[in-house]
Amino acid sequence: MARRPGRPRASGDPDGERDTRRDVLDAAAALFCTVGFTSTSTRAIADAAGVRQASIYHHFAGKDAILLELLLGTVRPSLELADALAAGTEPAAARLWTLVHADVGLLCAGPVNLGVLYVLPEVAGEQFAEFHALRSRLRARYSELATAAGDGDDRGELALGLVESVILRRRDDPAVDVAAVQGAVADGVLRLVGCTPAEIAQARAVPVALAV
């Protein structure tokens, strides 16, 4: 495969078989989650990714842009699913269960616990407004589904909080059984919004066409 221009690799990868952008994101994720955002330089990211420092700026404007892309990746897929589920015809409880199950899976995916990036003080900055906007939209979808599935009270904030609790669970137990946690949290959210055991069992059993 011919190498795309402007992507020199320090380790010598003339065929360009690896995705430099993905390598940079993976390296930055590992460093941000362990060393911290402020303490991580673009040079350190480049060294960890096996690319030249100039290659980073071919793909990203700087560290803020890298962090923003990582944050968006923890929200965007769930929001897309939530938007699709909002238009679904299945019972609201089944759609909420499906969203929670997928969202927990996303937060538990990959070798790095990206959810811990949420608590970085830098994330409060205006440069991460897009992330906060998407997360607010996801919270609103949770509220819609939670209200429709439960007793009518808006418990969307609590539902999302329960979902995101898996971030700490994963931090404390990196070998967590993801499948078991997905089911437990999805059931827990339905209990939280007021569903009965029978309704929860039905929600688990209903096939949702847009499940991912």
pLDDT computed for residue 5 by the predictor: 33
pLDDT computed for residue 73 by the predictor: 96
Contact 55, 20 (CB under 8 A): yes
- CB contact set of 57 (below 8 Å; sequence gap of 6+): 42
pTM recorded for the entire structure: 0.87
pLDDT computed for residue 10 by the predictor: 45
Q: What is the pLDDT along the chain (212 residues), one digit of tens a residue?
A: 333 333 344 444 444 445 889 999 999 999 999 999 999 999 999 999 999 999 999 999 999 999 999 999 999 999 999 999 999 999 999 999 999 999 999 999 999 999 999 999 999 999 999 999 999 999 999 999 999 998 888 899 999 999 999 999 999 999 999 999 999 999 999 999 999 999 999 999 988 866 44
Element (H, E) at 173: none
- Alpha-carbon distance of 108 to 91, in angstroms, equals 26
Contact 163, 197 (CB under 8 A): no
Closest CA to 78 of 131, 155, 22, 150: 131
The amino acid sitting at 138 is L
Contact 208, 98 (CB under 8 A): yes
Taking residue 110's Cβ as centre, other Cβ atoms within 10 Å add up to 12
pLDDT computed for residue 18 by the predictor: 55
- Alpha-carbon distance of 200 to 189, in angstroms, equals 10
C-alpha angle 208/157/98, rounded to 5°?
Answer: 10
